[in-house]
Amino acid sequence: MTQILTATAEAEQDFQASFAKLIAAPTESPFSNAAMAFCAELSQALFRADMKDRPEVHALAYWCRPAEVTRLKSSFAELATGHTILAPRGTVFHVPPVNVETLFLYGWLYSILCGNRNVVRISSRSSGLTTELCAIVGAVLSHYPELERINMAVRYGHDDQLTSDISANCDVRIVWGGDETVRALRRVPMAPTAKDICFPDRYSYSIVAAAAYVASSEEQKRVLARAFYNDCYWFDQMACSSPRLIAWYGSDEESLVGSKIFCNLLASEVAAHQYSTEAAVRSNKLLFSSGLILDQAVDGYETYGTELTVLRLKDLTTLAREHCGGGLLLSVNVPELSSLKEIVQRRDQTLTYFGFDHQQIKAFAGDLNGRGIDRIVPIGQALTFNRYWDGYDLLQELTRRVWMQ
Amino acid sequence: MQLSRTYNPGVMTLDELMHARQYSLPQEQKERLLLEHLNVLTAQHRAGCEGYDRLVRILHHDASAAATLADIPYIPVGLLKTHELRSIAPSEVFRVLTSSGTTGQRVSRVYLDRATAMLQSAALSKIMIHVLGPERLPMLLIESPTIVSDRTSFSARGAGALGMMNFGRAHCHALDEHMQLQLPRVMEFLSRFGGQPFLIFGFTFMVWAYFYQHIKGIGLDLSNGTLIHSGGWKKLIEQSVTNDEFKSAFRRDTGLRRIYNFYGMVEQVGSVFLEGEDGYLYPPNFADVVIRDPMTWNELPPGKPGVIEVLSLLPQSYPGHAILTEDLGVVEHIDGNTCGRLGKAFRVLGRLPKAELRGCSDTHAAGVSA
């Protein structure tokens, strides 16, 4: 069944008619006053919704508060040149993942700010939180008629026709949700002038300078453990940017000492947050770990409390990128950065770090030369969504650059 | 049995354990006997299977000889779906059993040598004789004849049916290949054998849906029969049919009173846990269960539900003597002797419920596929 989640009671409920109206309506100017005001009001509404057990909603509210959006507006202005301006692409079809509820809003908000029309496909398998968020967005949108008429979230199940119709009539399609979803959507044709922005399955890891970590204060270590906990556990370690592997850079001894301290502190954070998975997740984690022990250069299996399992790898030569999530961390010692660089591949997305300065990070990225890793951020920032994601600049991708001479 | 030679002289050999009256050993004595044999099996499989040796070294921290059943290094059952685990040379593989699975699902592959295959059928026989007696009984199979006609493909259902056929004679298949009840065949079977003890075998759901549902109203007399069934309750629980209801329905509509469910799996064929007259499942002399806490994987005491681990002395050719299942169960009592059986009385509570993790990657893309 098709259900428009953002429409107010008196508004059109029939999808085909609403969609026809939407694509006939004019786009907005990028960073229009209405879009800026909408973001500010949405930020307040999200803070007010007070989802204390949902830190990711809090993060989203923080992200779209006025100060942040104003900053974004000025960086957008910097993109224009004397001979080019940036204009909306037109209609953007968003196909977000089912399980990371807030992610669809980031992409959507960037697109609203760029002035585009938006149709957001909400899966019929999506959670209650997604519906709640849509209701909040819908309520705020209703205060901005010029935005409301060009924005729509629609919930539908397995409906190829609907996906085809929207795809045929959009200018940009943003597909999240992994390789299978991307493959499935790529088979659905779009207009020749339209483009896909795809976010397939990715793999992410961390690197910690062992000596710097061991030398850091107890308080710094605790802060780092908390930051890592957020990166790792907010989305059951299944967000594409959640770290699944931690590489300790330094001597064997420093790495082992550092790693033991770190894992114990991380386990304390896990316990303090009362993070808990279901029995089936633990059963699967045990099975997955057993498989890795057979297939990879694993030489240690450790459990810290009930929700953190650590598998120690001898080296990275056998690293495969499948992962079960739910608190399984691979740990490896890299005496030389080159042994990490060597294994980087296209699928690798986010490298979170501790104990490196900007020069070192820049040199590391320069050496990779785009082979893999699209984000290098401090530990704690893995899930912090911004315009630069998976190698794209979303502000650039969601607008067209018009050349004038 | 030739394999007894591989064991140190103990209080009882595997052969003796199989020949002793089943369910007659008090738990303490049984565990002591099992431990000795299981430790030998652990060493044997470590020597013969590199993967198992790695798991013992790493996952189980190089466990030395186990002091309790719970200390025996186990493998998760799913590992037999993804990895080839055997302790014998490829040339010694006599038969490969596969689990049933829907299309696209991975299936377990269990590598048997001739000796293990023989042990399996001998073991099953010891268990079945306990309720059927030593005579081969006329046998009604709630199966189609085609399930066992192709002897090269040993599906779990086919292997199970074939294994059970040894305990009967004058076999009559009650279904055709479309799962339709062939009532005339059944009537003919009953007119010949219905007046004396006979055996009925089938998979739980098939017995209920393809047999009971079609005969419940016609007054068949099955009162001399013994029904043995297995295969799990998932589909029946979905229809709100419990074991008690299953039994009372047969009793009410057909007079059938001797009904024994059993719990077993292709990963440990022959080592089945047969229901006692009190409705609980009992491990035979050469097998046992340990219930584990999924939080810690430590053993749970009686009364606490957890994940079932099955232990068996039969797997000689693959490291499956201790397998952590994905089923939930609970030990109700030990040596309670509520139906003349000693040892652990347990119940199976169903599969571990599937859990969906969050994450960017949708595990199944059906909802958006073109």
Q: Mean of the per-residue pLDDT values for chain B?
A: 89
- Candidates B58, B83, B294; nearest CB to A301: B58
**Interface check A326 vs B, CB under 8 A:** yes
Q: What H or E segment, with its residue span, contains residue A253?
A: helix A252-272
Rounded Cα gap, residues B363 and B136, in angstroms: 50
pLDDT bin (cut points 50, 70, 90) of residue B358 is: low
How confident is the model at residue B162, as a pLDDT?
81
What whole-number distance in Å separates Cα of residue A126 and Cα of residue B367?
Answer: 10
Instruction: Give residue limits of the domains in chain B.
Output: 7-352
Report if residue A289 sits inside a domain.
yes
Q: Answer yes or no: is pLDDT of B369 > 50.
A: no
Distance (Å, rounded) from C-alpha A282 to C-alpha A393? 37
Secondary structure letter of residue B97 according to DSSP? E
Q: Provide the residue count of chain B.
A: 370
Higher pLDDT among residues B194 and B239, named by residue? B194
CB atoms within 10 A of CB B348: 19
Is A385 part of a structural domain of the chain? no
Does A232 share its domain with A361?
Answer: yes
Both tokens of A307, joined, read: 């929700």
For position A309, which CATH number holds? 3.40.309.10
Closest C-alpha among A95, A121, A105, A103 to residue A181 = A95
Q: Report which residue type is found at A261.
A: I
For each of chain A's 405 residues, which pLDDT tens digit applies? 678 887 765 555 688 899 999 999 999 999 999 999 999 999 999 999 877 778 889 989 999 999 999 999 999 999 999 999 999 999 999 998 877 778 889 999 999 999 999 999 998 888 788 888 999 999 999 999 999 999 999 988 877 889 999 999 999 999 988 898 899 999 999 999 999 999 999 999 999 999 999 999 999 999 999 999 999 999 899 889 999 999 999 999 999 999 999 999 999 999 999 999 999 999 999 999 999 999 999 999 999 998 999 999 999 999 999 999 999 999 999 999 999 999 999 999 999 999 999 999 999 999 999 999 999 999 999 999 889 999 999 999 999 999 999
- Identify from B308, B360, B364, B369 which residue to disrupt to test chain A contact, counting A C-beta atoms within 10 A and taking the largest count: B360
Residue B359 confidence class, pLDDT cut points 50, 70, 90:
low
Residue A349's contacts (CB-CB under 8 Å, 6 or more residues apart) are: A202, A203, A204, A240, A241, A373, A374, A375, A390
Q: A200 Cβ partners below 8 Å, 6+ apart? A: A178, A179, A182
Specify the 3-state DSSP secondary structure of A299: strand
Candidate from B4-8, B43-47, B214-218, B244-248 with smallest mean pLDDT:
B4-8
Report the alpha-carbon distance of residue B133 to residue B341 in Å, rounded: 16
Same domain, A40 and A174: yes
**Best mutation site among A292, A294, A331, A374 for testing chain B: the one with the most B CBs within 10 Å?**
A294
One domain for residues A290 and A173: no
Chain A CB contacts of B291 below 8 Å: none
Average confidence (pLDDT) over B191-212: 95
pTM, to two decimals = 0.90
Query: Residues of A204-235 as b/e, b for ≥16 C-beta within 10 angstroms?
Result: bbbbbbbbbbbebeeeebeebbbbbbbbbbbb
Answer yes or no: is pLDDT of B366 > 90.
Answer: no
Tokens representing B112?
Answer: 């048997």
CA dihedral A97, A99, A101, A104 (to 10 degrees): -10
| Residue in A with minimal Cα distance to B323 | A287
The domain in which residue A99 lies consists of 3-199+390-403
Residues A10 and A96 in one domain: yes
Under a CB-based contact definition with an 8 Å cutoff, are residues B141 and B202 in contact?
Answer: yes
By Cβ distance, the residue of A279, A287, A326 closest to B294 is A279
Please indicate, yes or no, whether residues A104 and A153 belong to a single structural domain of this protein: yes
At residue A145, the pLDDT reads 95
Distance between CA A5 and CA A130 in Å, rounded?
A: 10
Contacts of B176 (CB under 8 A, 6+ apart): B144, B182
- The minimum CA-CA distance between B326 and chain A, rounded to whole Å, is 7
Dihedral-angle region of residue A89 (phi above 0 means left; psi in -120 to 50 means alpha; beta otherwise): alpha
How far, in Å, CA of A199 to CA of A182, rounded? 7
Q: What percentage of chain B reaches a pLDDT higher than 70?
A: 89
Cβ <8 Å between B370 and A160: yes
> Domain check: are A335 and A399 in the same one?
no
Q: CA quadruple B152, B157, B163, B167: dihedral positive or negative?
A: negative
Structural contact between residues B32 and B39, judged by C-beta atoms closer than 8 angstroms:
no
Segment holding B186, helix H or strand E: helix B183-193
Instruction: Assess if residue A383 is contained within a domain.
Output: no
Instruction: Report the CATH number that the domain containing residue A25 is assigned in CATH.
Output: 3.40.605.10
Using the Cβ of A275 and the Cβ atoms of chain B, whether some distance falls under 8 Å is answered with no
Considering the domain architecture, whether residues A177 and A210 belong to the same structural domain is answered as: no
Task: Please tell me the distance in Å from B330's CA to the nearest CA on chain A.
Answer: 15
A286 and chain B in contact, CB less than 8 A = yes
Chain B contact for A179, CB < 8 A? yes
| Alpha carbon distance B244, B279 (integer Å) | 8
Q: Is residue A384 part of a domain?
A: no
Cα distance from A404 to chain B (closest Cα, Å)? 40
Residue A126 is predicted with a pLDDT of: 81
| Burial call B37-53: b when 16+ CB within 10 Å, e when fewer | bbbbbbebbbebbebbb
Q: What is the mean pLDDT of residues B75-93?
A: 95
* Domain shared by A259 and A111, yes or no: no
Contact B22, B130 (CB under 8 A): yes
CATH topology assigned to domain B7-352: Rossmann fold (3.40.50)
* C-alpha to C-alpha distance for A340 and A332, rounded to whole angstroms: 10
Residues B361, A97: C-beta atoms closer than 8 Å: yes
Residues of A in contact with B59 (CB under 8 A): 289-290, 293, 301
Interhelix angle for B114-132 vs B156-165, to 10°?
60
Mark whether A306 and A172 lie in a shared domain: no
Nearest CB among B58, B326, B366 relative to A293 is that of B58
| Tally of domains in chain A | 2
For residue B46, the chain A residues in CB contact (below 8 A) are none
Q: At what angle do helices A160-168 and A15-24 cross, to 10 degrees?
A: 10
Residue A207: which of A105, A95, A101, A350 has the closest Cα?
Answer: A350
A287, A226: one domain: yes
- Cβ contact, residue pair B367, A188, below 8 Å: no
> Are A208 and A190 found together in one domain?
no
Q: With beta carbons under 8 A apart, name residues in chain A contacting B63.
A: none
Q: What is the pLDDT of residues B238-250, one digit of tens each?
A: 888 999 999 999 9
Could you tell me if A153 and A220 lie in one domain? no
- What is the rounded distance in angstroms from the CA atom of residue A177 to the CA atom of residue A118? 18
